[in-house]
């Protein structure tokens, strides 16, 4: 089910959804000109079947922004120990690795942080620590994968490989970045395809083209954003554009009342519509390549995860977009999630928005539109010089002597501008149980990452206290209801309250 959107936009999305679903279905079962050319014991459709035993449990959490080993805290913090115990209880445990793991003392690369983006870095011990806490599969296609360049990407790969964690979403060229990877579990072969729609320019991997070599990077899905404005706003924008650019040609196929139906100005495309909204168009070539790898990932596994890291939102009404945690998932994420499931995905997982999003069930498969945060480490060092330069104005406004500001001070200032408040620190651990290869039950365990605690204590997931747990679960109830998802809140002796979805 699509959330409440303008009727015209909803129609566009539904048409796109139907076409993508049909294309994905054709991709899932392309048919054969001559069935006799295939082994009758191995029909094509058989390889796309989910084949895990009953009571198969998937644990999925969101962004893991972790800079140092943390498992030692479980020895003295029963609440955190409970969260780690849950991670280890699954047949497969997933999280999004949103950092670079490297030894800065011997590192030969360089920092490449983005605009208004913290360059994230983790100690080499983090990889082993994540494995010890129970992580089996992690996505790496995100906007922080190349914070420390190609060298940082490669060193991160080395550390996670040595730790035995299966990761996907980065590679030396586009084919390797798009490729599914596999975790050999006791209950079947679990595949993962990782992609991102939010990434810095030139951080997406490229294929070879003629004499031009490919490029290392992430599995990127390019999306084109259009801001939809009502007629009066478009007229105002047209007039303003003509004042700023007097020679601008605002010709449009349809134009009335001095307002063009579509404008490209300030590097952004604007379009007339019935109601203010955002619309995204997925690059067809990227989408086709990604869905082909989804199909192959399912053919070569018993159970397949497809993950996307996306900051894109459907909401344009917030006064401060950097601090808007109530936005709906962008329209294309709904379309992509269903197309991925049609092509073979058994679970579609969204990370990147740093708060919880709605939950939807589609064809007996879960779609998580926002898994929130699981680790949120505000201990980040060292910070490169250009990051200080980027926030020089903020530092000057915050400190009498900005030159004395430390990495911790800078992190405090930047987080205050975009990540203050409870929502990034309130999340859930999701447990999805499958029987007969379809969702039998989803359990949502509320966690609190300790907003406001000392830096050495905050950002660590703990069992949420009763009031906080109830607040988290009620919010999930509210935002998931438009998708037809009913979440029951039940008491729990170990977790105070848990959310339960029973299809």
Tell whether the model's pLDDT for residue 219 goes beyond 60. yes
Task: Identify any residues that bridge with 361 across adjacent strands, giving them in sequence order.
Answer: 366
What DSSP state is assigned to residue 145?
T
Handedness of CA 186, 187, 188, 190 (dihedral sign): negative
Handedness of CA 432, 435, 439, 441 (dihedral sign): negative
Confidence of residue 244 (pLDDT cuts 50, 70, 90): confident
Confidence of residue 174 (pLDDT cuts 50, 70, 90): very high
Confidence of residue 7 (pLDDT cuts 50, 70, 90): very low
Tell whether the model's pLDDT for residue 28 goes beyond 80. no
Q: In what order do the strands lie in the sheet with 223-229?
A: 262-265, 268-272, 223-229, 277-282
Report the pLDDT averaged over residues 168-183: 98
Tell whether the model's pLDDT for residue 78 goes beyond 90. yes
pLDDT for res 29: 60
Taking alpha carbons only, the member of 23, 88, 22 closest to residue 61 is 88
Q: Which two tokens stand for residue 354?
A: 């740093």
What angle, rounded to 10 degrees, do the helices at 125-132 and 149-163 form? 40
Percent pLDDT > 70 in the chain is 88
Q: Which two tokens stand for residue 427?
A: 């999340």
Q: Are 388 and 395 in contact (CB under 8 A)?
A: yes
As a whole number of angstroms, the distance between CA 87 and CA 98 comes to 18
pLDDT for res 275: 87
CB atoms within 10 A of CB 317: 10
User: Which of 185-194, 319-328, 363-372, 437-446 comes out lowest in average pLDDT?
Assistant: 319-328
pLDDT for res 45: 87
Helix, coil or strand: residue 7: helix
Report the pLDDT averaged over residues 41-49: 89
pLDDT for res 259: 54
Q: Which two tokens stand for residue 445?
A: 């365990």
Tell whether the model's pLDDT for residue 95 goes beyond 90. yes
As a whole number of angstroms, the distance between CA 251 and CA 261 comes to 9
What angle, rounded to 10 degrees, do the helices at 7-28 and 284-299 form? 40
Confidence of residue 71 (pLDDT cuts 50, 70, 90): very high
pLDDT for res 318: 47
Backbone angles phi, psi at 500, to 5 degrees: -130, 130
Task: Identify any residues that bridge with 260 across adjacent strands, giving them in sequence order.
Answer: 255
As a whole number of angstroms, the distance between CA 145 and CA 65 comes to 12
pLDDT for res 251: 54
Q: How far apart are the first and last CA of the chain?
A: 15
Confidence of residue 25 (pLDDT cuts 50, 70, 90): very low
Backbone angles phi, psi at 248, to 5 degrees: -65, 135
Report the pLDDT averaged over residues 6-26: 49
Q: Which two tokens stand for residue 492?
A: 């729990």
The 10s digit of each residue's pLDDT in 264-296 is 887 889 999 988 888 999 999 999 999 999 999
SS (H, E, C) 187-208: CEEEEEEEEECCCCCCCECECC
Q: Which two tokens stand for residue 64?
A: 């893991």
pLDDT for res 262: 86
Confidence of residue 432 (pLDDT cuts 50, 70, 90): very high
pLDDT for res 260: 66
Tell whether the model's pLDDT for residue 461 goes beyond 50. yes
User: Which of 205-214, 242-251, 394-403, 422-431 comes out lowest in average pLDDT?
Assistant: 242-251
pLDDT for res 35: 74
Taking alpha carbons only, the member of 71, 301, 32, 271 closest to residue 163 is 71
Instruction: Write the class of the CATH domain 7-30+44-52+61-221+283-401.
Output: alpha beta
Cα dihedral 50/51/53/54 (nearest 10):
30
Chain centroid, CA 21 distance in Å:
21
As a whole number of angstroms, the distance between CA 340 and CA 307 comes to 10
Higher per-residue pLDDT: 428 or 244: 428
Alpha-helix runs per DSSP H in 253-312: 284-299
Q: Are 192 and 165 in contact (CB under 8 A)?
A: no
Strands 92-97 and 137-139: parallel
Cis peptide before 326 (omega within 30 of 0): no
Query: Where exactly are the structural domains of the chain?
Result: 7-30+44-52+61-221+283-401, 231-272
Higher per-residue pLDDT: 425 or 318: 425
What DSSP state is assigned to residue 104?
T
As a whole number of angstroms, the distance between CA 94 and CA 165 comes to 10
What DSSP state is assigned to residue 142?
S
pLDDT for res 253: 44
Chain centroid, CA 55 distance in Å:
26
What DSSP state is assigned to residue 48?
G
Q: Are 272 and 229 in contact (CB under 8 A)?
A: yes
Report the pLDDT averaged over residues 85-101: 98
Alpha carbon distances (Å) from 395 to 47, 113, 146, 268, 402: 57, 18, 26, 30, 6
Task: Identify any residues that bridge with 265 across adjacent strands, giving them in sequence order.
Answer: 268
Q: Which two tokens stand for residue 306?
A: 């497809």
pTM of the model: 0.91
Alpha-helix runs per DSSP H in 93-250: 125-132, 149-163, 174-178, 231-244
The secondary structure element, H or E, covering residue 96 is strand 92-97
Query: In sequence order, which residues have a C-beta less than 8 Å from that of residue 325 and are 6 or more positions away?
Result: 353, 354, 355, 421, 423, 424
pLDDT for res 10: 52
């Amino acid at each position: 089910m699509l959330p409440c959107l303008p009727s015209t936009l909803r129609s566009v999305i539904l048409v796109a959804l139907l076409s993508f679903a049909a294309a994905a279905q054709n991709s899932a079962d392309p048919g054969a000109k001559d069935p006799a050319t295939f082994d009758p014991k191995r029909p094509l459709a058989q390889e796309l079947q989910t084949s895990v035993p009953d009571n198969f449990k998937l644990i999925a959490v969101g962004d893991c922004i972790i800079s140092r080993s943390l498992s030692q805290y479980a020895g003295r913090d029963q609440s955190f120990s409970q969260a780690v115990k849950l991670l280890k209880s699954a047949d497969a445990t997933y999280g999004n690795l949103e950092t670079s793991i490297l030894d800065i003392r011997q590192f030969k690369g360089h920092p490449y942080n983005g605009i208004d983006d913290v360059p994230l870095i983790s100690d080499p011990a983090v990889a082993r620590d994540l494995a010890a806490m129970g992580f089996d599969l992690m996505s790496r296609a995100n906007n922080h994968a190349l914070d420390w360049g190609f060298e940082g990407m490669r060193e991160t790969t080395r550390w996670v490989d040595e730790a035995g964690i299966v990761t996907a979403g980065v590679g030396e060229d586009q084919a390797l970045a798009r490729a599914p990877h596999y975790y050999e579990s006791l209950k079947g072969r679990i595949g993962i395809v990782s992609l991102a729609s939010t990434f810095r320019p030139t951080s997406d991997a490229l294929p070879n083209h003629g004499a031009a070599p490919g490029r290392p990077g992430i599995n990127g899905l390019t999306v084109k954003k259009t801001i939809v404005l009502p007629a009066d706003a478009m007229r105002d924008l047209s007039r303003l554009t003509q004042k700023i650019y007097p020679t601008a040609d605002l010709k449009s196929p349809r134009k009335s009342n001095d307002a063009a139906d579509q404008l490209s100005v300030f590097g952004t495309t604007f379009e007339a519509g019935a109601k203010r909204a955002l619309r995204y168009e997925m690059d067809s070539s990227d989408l086709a390549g990604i869905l082909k790898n989804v199909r192959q990932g399912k053919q070569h596994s018993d159970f397949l995860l497809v993950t996307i890291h996306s900051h894109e939102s459907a909401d344009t009404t917030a006064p401060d977009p950097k601090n808007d945690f109530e936005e709906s998932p962008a329209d294309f994420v709904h379309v992509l999630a269903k197309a991925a499931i049609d092509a073979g995905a058994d679970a579609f997982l969204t990370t990147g928005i740093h708060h919880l999003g709605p939950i939807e069930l589609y064809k007996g498969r879960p779609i998580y539109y926002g898994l929130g945060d699981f680790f949120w480490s505000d201990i980040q060092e060292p910070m490169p010089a250009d990051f200080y330069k980027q926030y020089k104005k903020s530092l000057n406004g915050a400190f009498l002597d900005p030159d004395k500001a430390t990495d911790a001070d800078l992190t405090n200032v930047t987080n205050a501008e975009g990540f203050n408040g409870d929502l990034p620190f309130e999340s859930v651990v999701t447990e999805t149980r499958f029987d007969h290869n379809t969702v039998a039950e989803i359990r949502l365990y509320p966690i609190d990452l300790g907003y406001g605690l000392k830096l050495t204590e905050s950002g660590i997931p703990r069992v949420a206290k009763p009031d906080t747990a109830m607040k988290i679960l009620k919010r999930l109830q509210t935002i998931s209801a438009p998708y037809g998802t009913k979440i029951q809140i039940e008491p729990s002796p170990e977790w105070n309250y848990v959310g339960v979805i029973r299809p």
